Amino acid sequence: MTILIKNIKELLQVRDENTLKVSGSQMKELPSITNAYLLIEDDTIVDFGSMIDVSNVKADKTIDATNKVVLPTWCDSHTHIVYAGDRSQEFVDRINGLSYEDIANRGGGIVNSAKTLQNTTEDDLYNQSIQRVKDVMHLGTGAIEIKSGYGLTPDAELKMLRVIKRIKKDFPVKVKATFLGAHALPLEFKTNKQGYLDQIINDMLPQIAKENLAQYIDVFCEKGYFDLNDTAQILEAGLKYNLIPKIHVNQFNAFGGVALAVKYGAISVDHLEELNTEDIKVLKDSNTMPVALPSCSYFLSIPYTPGRQLIDAGLPLALATDYNPGSTPSGNMNFVVSTACIKMKLTPEEAINAATLNGAYAMGISKQYGSITKGKKANIIITKPISGYHYLPYAFGDNHIDQVIINGTII
Ligand SMILES: [Zn+2]
């Protein structure tokens, strides 16, 4: 099956196969072709170029993209999209003055989500989660990382990871799975943190490896959750099973988590709302992708990741949603791109690079995803008629997407 998209007003993010991420001033550039065509064969991008050269191109199906912009789908490299229930009551509690930490101390927060999930069957969890997966696909997400971490018992963590595996099998969206057993301390281990770490290392990890349920390992490295020593134990144990670190650091405090993650070869460090000069220095000498989660900052009214500072220091940056029931009940990458421009002062070019190619890098998939490149997967957003791509972040809060193609399938 071949699909020809023709009369494209502007085809964005056109790259050769050797560009796997963009850093610093390169992020200001978004290579494009105006008045373009794009040819898809089955699940692959096979050709593109100027409409002047289109006369020899034949296809089974043709889509007319007059006045429309075409770009690669979003690559959302940080989500917790598999969860049970919601935490809208805590949302109201926060409006009434309680902090995220107050709520966690009362037994709310992550532990609350874990209790609900433990009492949810695998099928029910799958059915709740795929509704959200379908929604984000329609919002232009074509590749997604999904974490465990709302189980916090061996059974419930495995249940989450098996649901992620089913999503990977049942949907065209590209899925990468991350084991986040060290997301919060379960109540029964409140005075015995080492006991829980041992359970993660000795009970959960071997089974996850046996069933091949995760590619990455994550820790919520934060004061009051897991310190540097705890994080090192988990990452070290994960590496024995070839699980690459991809960790939550510097959301509320900067205390050396970035350096630790880099030391263990993390593919990404995520959050970074609190960042010091030492962190930036460490990242400059690494292959680790910094990931900002602006809709989390928006929802919690905490500082935004200093993305401008990271890019101006010559670093790359990726953008992701952090879709989760507590701090970001939204998986809308379009909103993330807008918020990065509005609140973090990224240019539209930087934000689109961060949400496509660099997002793919942060999931280890930028050889196949994240740009319009011959041989890459046919993951395409076709916008409604718009004045140009600047309009996408500018006219925030509305859906400007007309059609989404994922793995060659029109969604
Ligand atoms: Zn997260």
Q: Kindly give the distance from the C-alpha atom of residue 295 to the centroid of ligand 1, in angstroms, as a whole number.
A: 11
Q: Kindly give the distance from the C-alpha atom of residue 319 to the centroid of ligand 1, in angstroms, as a whole number.
A: 12
List beta partners, residue 61: 3
Q: Are strands 44-50 and 74-76 parallel, antiparallel or unpaired?
A: unpaired
Please give the average per-residue pLDDT across 4-30, as a whole number: 97
For 236-289, the pLDDT digits (tens) are: 999 999 999 999 999 989 899 999 999 999 999 999 999 999 999 999 989 999
Q: Which residues contact 86 (CB under 8 A, 6 or more apart)?
A: 325, 329
- Say which residue, 109 or 354, is predicted with more confidence: 354
Two tokens, residue 389: 């791509």
Tally of CB atoms within 10 A around 240? 11
Residue type, 171: F
Is residue 187 pLDDT above 80, yes or no?
yes
List beta partners, residue 406: 409
What is d(CA 247, CA 167) in angstroms, rounded to the nearest whole number?
A: 22
Tally of CB atoms within 10 A around 92? 10
Task: Give the pLDDT band (50/70/90) at residue 213.
Answer: very high
- 3-class SS string, the chain: CEEEEEEEEEEECECCCCCCCCEHHHHHCCCEEEEEEEEEECCEEEEEEEHHHHHHCCCCEEEECCCEEEEECEEECCECCCCCCCCHHHHHHHHCCCCHHHHHHCCCCHHHHHHHHHCCCHHHHHHHHHHHHHHHHHCCEEEEEEECCCCCCHHHHHHHHHHHHHHHHHCCCEEEEEEEEECCCCHHHCCCHHHHHHHHHHHHHHHHHHCCCCCEEEEEECCCCECHHHHHHHHHHHHHCCCEEEEEECCCCCCCHHHHHHHCCCCEEEECCCCCHHHHHHHHCCCCEEEECHHHHHHHCCCCCCHHHHHHCCCECEECCCEECCCECCCCHHHHHHHHHHHHCCCHHHHHHHHCHHHHHCCCCCCCCCCECCCCECCEEEEEECCCCCHHHHCCCCCCEEEEEECCEEC
Ligand 1 being an ion, which residues bring their Cβ within 5 A of it?
A: 322
For 98-130, the pLDDT digits (tens) are: 887 788 787 788 888 888 999 999 999 999 999
Tally of CB atoms within 10 A around 124? 13
What is d(CA 300, CA 100) in angstroms, rounded to the nearest whole number?
A: 8
Q: Kindly give the distance from the C-alpha atom of residue 289 to the centroid of ligand 1, in angstroms, as a whole number.
A: 15
pLDDT of 399 = 94
Q: Kindly give the distance from the C-alpha atom of residue 27 to the centroid of ligand 1, in angstroms, as a whole number.
A: 24
Residue-wise over 142-159: b if at least 16 C-beta within 10 A, else e? bbbbbbbbbbbbbebbbb
pLDDT of 108 = 80
Q: Which of 307, 304, 253, 303 is nearest to 283 (CA)?
A: 307
Q: Kindly give the distance from the C-alpha atom of residue 381 to the centroid of ligand 1, in angstroms, as a whole number.
A: 25
For 24-35, the pLDDT digits (tens) are: 999 999 999 999
For 125-182, the pLDDT digits (tens) are: 999 999 999 999 999 999 999 999 999 999 999 999 999 999 999 999 999 999 999 9
Q: Kindly give the distance from the C-alpha atom of residue 79 to the centroid of ligand 1, in angstroms, as a whole number.
A: 6
Is residue 223 pLDDT above 80, yes or no?
yes
Quote the mean pLDDT of the chain: 95
Q: Kindly give the distance from the C-alpha atom of residue 29 to the centroid of ligand 1, in angstroms, as a whole number.
A: 29
Q: Kindly give the distance from the C-alpha atom of residue 378 to the centroid of ligand 1, in angstroms, as a whole number.
A: 28
pLDDT of 110 = 81
Q: Which strand ranges, in their side-by-side order, compose the sheet holding 289-292?
A: 74-76, 141-147, 174-182, 216-221, 244-249, 268-271, 289-292, 318-319
What is d(CA 363, CA 356) in angstroms, rounded to the nearest whole number?
A: 11
Q: Kindly give the distance from the C-alpha atom of residue 202 to the centroid of ligand 1, in angstroms, as a whole number.
A: 24
What is d(CA 323, CA 89) in angstroms, rounded to the nearest whole number?
A: 17
Q: What percent of the chain has pLDDT over 70?
A: 100
pLDDT of 207 = 97
Location of structure tokens 């807008």: 338
Task: Give the pLDDT band (50/70/90) at residue 329.
Answer: very high
What is d(CA 402, CA 65) in angstroms, rounded to the nearest whole number?
A: 10
Q: Kindly give the distance from the C-alpha atom of residue 214 to the centroid of ligand 1, in angstroms, as a whole number.
A: 16
Q: Kindly give the distance from the C-alpha atom of residue 80 to the centroid of ligand 1, in angstroms, as a whole number.
A: 6
Q: Kindly give the distance from the C-alpha atom of residue 384 to the centroid of ligand 1, in angstroms, as a whole number.
A: 31
| pTM as predicted | 0.96
pLDDT of 151 = 94
Q: Kindly give the distance from the C-alpha atom of residue 147 to the centroid of ligand 1, in angstroms, as a whole number.
A: 8
Please give the average per-residue pLDDT across 189-206, as a whole number: 96
What is d(CA 232, CA 83) in angstroms, rounded to the nearest whole number?
A: 27
Q: Kindly give the distance from the C-alpha atom of residue 210 to the centroid of ligand 1, in angstroms, as a whole number.
A: 25
Q: Kindly give the distance from the C-alpha atom of residue 296 to the centroid of ligand 1, in angstroms, as a whole number.
A: 9
pLDDT of 94 = 85
What is d(CA 355, CA 291) in angstroms, rounded to the nearest whole number?
A: 10
| Burial of 85 (C-beta count, 10 Å sphere; 0-12/13-18/19+) | middle
Two tokens, residue 253: 């405090």
Q: Kindly give the distance from the C-alpha atom of residue 40 to the centroid of ligand 1, in angstroms, as a whole number.
A: 34
Query: Residue 315, CB half-sphere, CA atoms under 13 Å: how many?
Result: 26
pLDDT of 101 = 79
Q: Kindly give the distance from the C-alpha atom of residue 44 to the centroid of ligand 1, in angstroms, as a whole number.
A: 31
Q: Kindly give the distance from the C-alpha atom of residue 156 to the centroid of ligand 1, in angstroms, as a whole number.
A: 18
Q: Kindly give the distance from the C-alpha atom of residue 258 to the centroid of ligand 1, in angstroms, as a whole number.
A: 15
Q: Kindly give the distance from the C-alpha atom of residue 71 to the centroid of ligand 1, in angstroms, as a whole number.
A: 26
Location of structure tokens 């009551």: 89
Q: Kindly give the distance from the C-alpha atom of residue 291 to the centroid of ligand 1, in angstroms, as a whole number.
A: 11
pLDDT of 54 = 87
For 285-314, the pLDDT digits (tens) are: 899 999 999 999 999 899 999 999 999 999
pLDDT of 131 = 98
Two tokens, residue 11: 């085809």
